[in-house]
Amino acid sequence: MLVILKRDNKEISREAAQLVASAVRKKPALTLGLATGGTMTGVYGHLAEFHKQGSLDFSQVVTFNLDEYLGLADRHPQSFHYFMHEHFFRHVNVDPRNIHIPDGTVRGNFVQYCAAYEDGIRKAGGIDLQILGIGRNGHIGFNEPTSSLGSRTRLKVLSQETIDDNAKFFAPGEESPRCAITMGIGTILEARKIILLATGAAKATAVAKSIEGPIASAVSASALQLHPEVTFIVDEQAASQLTQRDYYRRVLEMTALLTPERMS
């Protein structure tokens, strides 16, 4: 695990975008796992700018999003379909046929639908690089506390904490979604490389538990300790409860010196 400490969201966005751009340039047909949320808008903005400048081509990239709220249509302004289109897809040249986002309007056999989403990832050769955010309770995707560390894509009931956090994004009187379709922790761990971004003091406890705490279903992001190629990129506030900050800085310095290809 590599922990990169940055000053603020601006620096985090730039660092993450450079890592994604490098991965796409090395493998133009990259399979990219995508996330939504405020931390991601800057990343997608930088990637769109790289594309506009002619230095980054997404025409062969295949994407799979982590999750989607159950009950929200593609055009709903709080759907993740809408978020991805507005912040990323309409600004770059990803082939629409290569874009995969769980369908929040699916009805009936959720098990069958989620199995098909998993199958789509397998047929694409697996996810090469997965981008993640983290919830205040330590969830990745919508894998709420007590999620199985071996879980696969499925319908997941959201915790009250997550519902409350999301309520501010919805219009007065509009009910915040109670469920979502999400990749499982086991699905996420099968990605070849993972980048997790975290900003702000509200994420500090979750970040500390994920990086330095025990591996536990109570903090689903702690399962990332099991993965051989994970990079956490966190700002000063989100890193405030980490006890080994000086060590992480030394590791980063030595990693850049001894294996510069990992940092390119």
Domains by residue range for the chain, with CATH: 2-263 (3.40.50.1360)
Q: What is the pLDDT of residue 263?
A: 55
- Asked if 188 and 152 count as a contact pair (C-beta separation under 8 A), the reply is no
Q: How many residues can be counted in the chain?
A: 264
Indicate the pLDDT class of residue 230, thresholds 50, 70 and 90: very high
Backbone dihedral angles phi then psi of residue 54, each to the nearest 5 degrees: 85, 10
Radius of gyration of the chain (CA): 18
pLDDT tens across 59-88, in order? 999 999 999 999 999 999 999 999 999 999
Indicate the pLDDT class of residue 260, thresholds 50, 70 and 90: low
- What are the C-alpha distances in Å from 155 to residues 41, 68, 81, 103, 115? 26, 10, 17, 11, 11
pLDDT tens across 13-49, in order? 999 999 999 999 999 999 999 999 999 999 999 999 9
Q: Closest Cα partner for 34 from 224, 149, 194?
A: 194
| pTM, to two decimals | 0.95
- Asked if 61 and 24 count as a contact pair (C-beta separation under 8 A), the reply is yes
Type of residue numbered 75: R
Q: Which residues are catalytic?
A: 67, 137, 139, 144
212-228 residues labelled b (16+ CB within 10 A) or e (exposed): ebeeebebbbbbbeebe
pLDDT tens across 91-117, in order? 999 999 999 999 999 998 999 999 999
